[in-house]
Each structure stands twice: as C-alpha cells, then as structure tokens.
Amino acid sequence: MFWLLALTFCVSAVVLTALGVRARAGTLARSHLYGVRTRGTMVDEETYARSNQAVWWGYVVQGGIFAVEAVMTVFFALSGGPDVIFIVVIVMGMFIVLVVAATQVLVANRVARSTEAGEKSR
C-alpha cells in the first residue's frame, strides 16, 4: 500500500511541476482538465494564460510538497515508523497543498479581473 501511495505522490509531483513550467512559459492552453478554472479565468485564451502564468509558482510548490511526501512515504515504508507520525505528515502536506491552491484561485481571479478591466478601457 505504501508503494502505491508513494508512486501516486511521485506522479503528482511530476505532473504539477510540469504544469508549473508550462504555465510560467505561457504555453498552457485553455483546458477543462487542468489549471485554475473559474468563470473569470475561462473567459478566453489570453485571460486563461495570463491567470495561470501568474500562479505558476503554486504548481511548483505543490509538486515539491508531493515529492517530499513521496520520499516520506518510502521512508516510513522502509523504517516501519509509527503510523501516527506518517498520517500527520501526510495531512499537513495536504493542508498546505489546499492553502496554496486556494491562494492560486484568489490570485488568478484577481489577474482575470484586471485583464478584463484592461480590455474594457481600450
């Protein structure tokens, strides 16, 4: 079970980091599967790209947290450490990921609103 969990964390780390790199480069195409998808950010391609480019760092942070959790999962699987500590580490990591995701949504919506306001003033 620990190995499947570690593999899941590894895949999540790679996918989120790659998503962050694409968002930073501005090559993240609008999609209903990934990125910050709200009414404000899904208006058009440019707004979606700008909004996600503004929050690229969040994807990388989340990927890093999942990488750390993968290492910790392997460590606990090999050491046979106390399950309580393992559960606390996983829950803390997930909490941080959720806080980062919420921050990404707030920032992306703010960028979307400023992009929309800039277009209206033209």
Q: Which two tokens stand for residue 45?
A: 């391609």
Q: Which amino acid is at 96?
A: I
- Which domain range does residue 101 map to? 2-120
- Measured distance between the N- and C-terminal CA atoms of the chain, rounded to whole angstroms: 57
| The pLDDT value given to residue 119 | 64
Global pTM? 0.85
Per-residue pLDDT tens over the stretch 56-86: 999 999 999 999 999 988 888 888 777 888 8
CA 14 to the chain's CA centroid:
11
Q: Give the mean pLDDT of 28-44.
A: 88
110: confidence class by pLDDT, cuts 50, 70, 90: very high
Number of domains in the chain: 1
